[in-house]
C-alpha cells in the first residue's frame, strides 16, 4: 500500500475563503481535530502577515500532538535582500515550528510582472531563502506557485526554479495549480515529467478548484507518483476553494489503495468535516461527497426498493467507512420500500398494507403543499397513527387566536385552546408576541401539568414558505418547526392556506412526537 502524506492548509488557505474566519481559539480546536484525524502536516498560518497567526504559533506549542507536524508558511525573501535580514523569513523562525513551507515564483509572468525582477534574481531568492531556513534545522517544503501555468509559458524556467529549491535544501517540491485552471490529463503529464526529471525527490500536489477539477487533479498527480497532497477540510479557500481533503482522502484510501491516515482513522472524517464547519460558522454542504448529510440519502422509490434487497445496489461504499450513515427520505417520489425502511428505523412494526396507506397519505399531503424530507417527525406521526391501538396523548377540540393592538399596550396575541387528555377536557388561554407564540403558550399551559417533560421542549427554529405567491395573501403556506429538548432535535411540517392552521399542525405534531418518544 502506497503512503501519501496529507498536508492540511485549512488554517491558512481555508481562511482565505469568503466568509471563513477563525479566531486563535478556533484554530487551536481545528488543530486538535486534524491531529486526531491523523494528518501528517498542519499549516498553521503565515506568522509574518498578522498578529493572530503569530499568537497561534505561540500557543500551539503547548498542544500534545500525536500525529501532525506544524508548519509555518511564508514567502522567499524580498528582491535585493538577504534572508537573514528579511522580516518574513525571520518570522518563520520565530514561529518555532519544525516545518516551514516557502512559496516562490515559478511562472515567468509573475517573475517579471509581479516581482518585477530578473529570472536570475528570482532563482537566488528561492535558493538562498530555503538554504537559510534549512541551516536553522527546519524541514523545508517548497511550494512552486503557479507551476502549471508557468510551465505553459516557459517550461525550462519552471524546472530551473525547482532545481534552485533543491539546491537550497528543499525536502519537498510541491507543484501548485494556483489559478485552478488545469485539466487532469495535462496536469498528470507535467507531474510525470517532473518526477522523471528529478528522480528520488519527494513531490507533492496543491490544487485549487476554479475549474471544478481540484480533486481530480490531485488524484491524477498521485497516480503518477506524487506522495503528498495538500488541501483543506470541506474545500474551503479563496475564490472557488482549495482541493477538498474530505473527498481526496477517502478516494485515495478506498479507491486507489493508498494509506493517508493511521489505520482506522478514516471513520473520523465525517465528524471532522461537520465540526470544522460548525467552528467556522459555515453551513455544512449536505451534498458533499462522502461526508455530506445527503451523501448516502435515498429518495426515489426504485432506489430504496433495490437497497432493501442489496445494500450495495445504490451505494458506492459502506457509509460507515467514513463515519457517515445511510438515510431513507420520504416524499411523493417514495415507494412502499421507503415507508418500510423508515418504519424499521423508528422501531415500528408497519405492515405492507399500512405502509401503502401512509405512502398514499404522504403523496396526497405533498400535493397539498407538505414536504416531508425535512420533517421526519411528521412522517413518524403518520406511521404511529396507523398502528393498531394507538392512542394520542392529547386531542385538539378547538382553538381560537386573537391579535390586538391596544393603546398603551401595543400589539399582542391571545390564544384559547381546548384539548382532551384521556376523558378530561382542558380549556386554557395563553398570550404571546404573535399568534403562534400564543398558541404554544396555551397548549403548554394545558399539557405541562400532565406531561411535565414538555417544559423542556424549546422551539429551535420556525420557517415559513409561501408556495403560490401569485395568490397574494390567500397563498398556500408551509410551516416547518424544529423542536429541541437539550439533547435531541426533531422537525415537523404543516401546510394550509391559513398560516395559523399550518403552524398549529406543525406545532401539534412536534409536541405529540416528543411526548410519545420519551424525549
**Number of compact structural domains in the chain:** 3
274 and 318 belong to one structural domain:
no
pLDDT of residue 16: 92
CA-angle at 65, arms to 215 and 41, nearest 5°: 30
- Confidence class for position 449, pLDDT limits 50, 70, 90: very high
Question: Bridge-partner residues for 2, per DSSP?
Answer: 258
Residues 99-118 as b or e (16 or more Cβ within 10 Å = b): bbbbbbbbbbebbeeebebe
- Are 91 and 199 found together in one domain? yes
pLDDT digits (tens, 9 = 90+) for 74-123: 999 999 999 999 999 999 999 999 999 999 999 999 899 998 999 999 99
Return mean pLDDT, the chain: 89
Return the pLDDT at 408: 74
Which range has the top average pLDDT, 150-154, 373-377, 490-494?
150-154
Residue 474 pLDDT more than 60?
Answer: no
How far is C-alpha 223 from the geometric centre of its chain's CA atoms?
Answer: 27
Range 84-89 contact pairs with CB under 8 angstroms and sequence separation of 24 or more: 84/132, 86/129, 87/48, 88/48, 89/129, 89/132, 89/133
378 part of a folded domain = no
Confidence of residue 486 (pLDDT cuts 50, 70, 90): confident
Is the distance from CB of 69 to CB of 41 less than 8 angstroms?
Answer: yes
* pLDDT more than 70, % of the chain: 92
Same domain, 62 and 148: yes
**According to the model, what pLDDT value does residue 115 have?**
85
CATH code (residue 71): 3.20.20.70
Is residue 109 domain-resident? yes
Is residue 290 in some structural domain?
Answer: no
Residue 331 has pLDDT above 60, yes or no: no
Q: Render pLDDT for 48-77 as a digit per residue (tens, 0 to 9).
A: 778 899 999 999 999 999 999 999 999 999
Same domain, 337 and 409: no
Rounded mean pLDDT of 261-283? Answer: 92
* 208, 244 contact by CB (below 8 A): no
- Domain extent, residue 355, equals 297-367
219 pLDDT exceeds 60?
yes
Q: Please indicate, yes or no, whether residues 401 and 360 belong to a single structural domain of this protein.
A: no
* 330 confidence band (pLDDT: 50, 70, 90): low
State how beta strands 458-466 and 424-432 pair.
unpaired
Q: How confident is the model at residue 345 (pLDDT cuts 50, 70, 90)?
A: confident
Question: Is 95 in the same domain as 220?
Answer: yes
For 297-307, how does the pLDDT look when each residue is reduced to its tens digit (9 = 90+)?
776 667 666 76
Last residue of a domain, one of 367, 386, 416: 367
Q: How far is CA 38 from CA 57, 60, 265, in A?
A: 20, 17, 7
Residue where a domain stops, chosen among 279, 308, 334 = 279
480 and 409 co-located in one domain: yes
Distance of CA 89 to the CA centre of its chain: 34
Q: What is the pLDDT of residue 57?
A: 96
Q: Look at residue 304 in the predicted model and tell me its pLDDT.
A: 61
Across the beta sheet with 410-421, the strand order is 395-406, 410-421, 424-432
pLDDT band at 346 (very low <50, low <70, confident <90, very high): low
Is the model more confident about 69 or about 335?
69
Q: Where residue 485 falls among pLDDT bands split at 50, 70, 90?
A: confident
- State whether 275 and 301 are in the same domain: no
CATH code (residue 478):
3.30.160.270
User: Do both 412 and 485 map to the same domain?
Assistant: yes
Share above pLDDT 90 across residues of the chain, in percent, rounded to a whole number: 60
The reported pLDDT for the residue numbered 351 is 74
- Boundary-marking domain end, from 347, 367, 387: 367
Question: pLDDT tens digits, residue range 11-48?
Answer: 999 999 999 999 999 999 999 999 999 999 999 999 97
**pLDDT tens string 133-164:** 999 999 999 999 999 999 999 999 999 999 99
**In this predicted structure, what is the pLDDT of residue 462?**
85
pLDDT surpasses 70 at 472: no
- pLDDT at position 374: 65
Cell 396526497 sits at which residue? 364
> Residue 281: is its pLDDT beyond 80?
yes
Per-residue confidence band for 420, with pLDDT thresholds at 50, 70 and 90: very high
Rounded alpha-carbon distances, angstroms, from residue 24 to 42, 56, 87, 400: 15, 6, 22, 52
Range of weakest confidence among 89-103, 273-287, 400-414? 400-414
Which whole-number Å values give the CA distances from 240 to 23, 50, 205, in the listed order? 22, 24, 17
Amino acid at each position: 500500500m502506497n503512503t501519501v502524506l496529507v498536508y492540511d492548509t485549512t488554517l491558512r488557505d481555508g481562511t482565505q475563503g469568503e466568509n471563513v474566519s477563525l479566531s486563535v481559539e478556533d484554530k487551536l480546536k481545528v488543530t486538535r481535530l486534524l491531529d486526531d484525524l491523523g494528518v501528517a502536516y498542519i499549516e498553521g498560518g503565515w506568522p509574518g502577515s498578522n498578529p493572530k497567526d503569530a499568537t497561534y504559533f505561540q500557543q500551539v506549542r503547548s498542544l500534545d500532538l500525536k500525529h501532525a507536524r506544524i508548519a509555518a508558511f511564508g514567502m522567499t525573501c524580498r528582491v535585493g535582500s538577504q534572508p537573514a535580514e528579511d522580516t518574513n523569513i525571520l518570522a518563520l523562525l520565530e514561529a518555532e515550528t519544525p516545518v516551514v513551507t516557502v512559496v516562490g515564483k515559478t511562472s515567468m509572468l509573475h517573475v517579471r510582472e509581479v516581482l518585477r525582477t530578473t529570472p536570475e534574481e528570482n532563482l537566488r531568492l528561492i535558493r538562498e531563502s530555503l538554504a537559510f531556513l534549512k541551516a536553522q534545522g527546519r524541514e523545508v517544503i517548497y511550494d512552486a506557485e503557479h507551476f502549471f501555468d508557468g510551465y505553459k509559458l516557459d517550461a525550462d524556467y519552471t524546472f530551473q526554479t525547482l532545481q534552485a529549491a533543491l539546491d537550497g535544501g528543499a525536502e519537498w517540491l510541491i507543484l501548485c495549480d494556483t489559478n485552478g485552471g488545469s485539466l487532469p490529463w495535462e496536469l498528470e503529464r507535467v507531474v510525470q515529467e517532473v518526477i522523471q526529471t528529478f528522480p528520488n525527490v519527494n513531490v507533492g500536489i496543491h490544487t485549487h478548484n476554479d475549474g471544478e477539477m481540484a480533486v481530480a487533479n490531485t488524484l491524477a498527480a498521485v497516480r503518477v507518483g506524487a506522495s503528498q497532497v495538500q488541501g483543506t477540510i470541506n474545500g474551503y479557500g479563496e475564490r472557488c476553494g482549495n482541493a477538498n481533503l474530505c473527498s481526496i482522502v477517502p478516494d485515495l484510501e478506498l479507491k486507489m489503495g493508498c494509506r493517508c491516515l493511521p489505520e482506522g482513522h478514516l471513520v473520523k472524517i465525517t465528524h471532522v468535516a461537520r465540526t470544522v464547519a460548525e467552528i467556522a460558522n459555515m453551513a455544512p454542504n449536505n451534498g458533499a461527497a462522502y461526508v455530506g448529510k445527503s451523501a448516502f440519502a435515498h429518495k426515489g422509490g426504485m432506489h430504496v426498493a433495490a437497497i432493501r434487497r442489496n445494500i450495495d445496489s445504490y451505494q458506492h461504499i459502506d457509509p460507515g467507512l467514513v463515519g457517515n450513515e445511510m438515510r431513507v427520505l420520504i416524499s411523493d417520489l417514495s415507494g412502499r420500500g421507503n415507508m418500510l425502511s423508515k418504519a424499521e428505523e423508528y422501531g415500528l412494526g408497519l405492515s405492507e398494507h399500512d405502509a401503502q396507506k401512509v405512502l398514499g397519505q404522504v403523496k396526497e399531503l405533498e400535493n397539498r403543499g407538505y414536504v416531508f424530507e425535512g420533517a421526519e417527525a411528521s412522517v413518524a406521526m403518520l406511521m404511529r397513527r396507523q398502528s393498531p391501538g394507538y392512542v394520542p396523548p392529547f386531542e385538539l377540540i378547538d382553538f381560537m387566536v386573537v391579535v390586538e393592538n391596544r393603546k398603551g399596550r401595543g400589539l399582542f396575541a391571545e390564544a384559547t385552546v381546548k384539548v382532551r387528555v384521556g376523558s378530561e377536557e382542558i380549556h386554557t388561554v395563553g398570550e404571546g408576541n404573535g399568534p403562534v407564540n400564543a398558541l404554544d403558550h396555551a397548549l403548554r399551559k394545558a399539557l405541562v401539568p400532565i406531561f411535565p417533560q414538555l417544559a423542556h421542549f424549546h422551539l429551535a427554529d420556525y420557517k415559513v414558505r409561501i408556495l403560490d405567491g401569485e395568490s397574494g395573501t390567500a397563498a398556500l403556506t408551509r410551516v416547518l418547526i424544529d423542536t429541541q429538548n437539550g439533547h435531541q432535535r426533531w422537525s415537523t411540517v404543516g401546510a394550509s392556506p391559513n398560516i395559523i392552521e399550518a403552524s398549529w399542525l406543525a406545532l401539534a405534531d412536534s409536541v405529540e412526537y416528543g411526548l410519545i418518544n420519551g424525549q
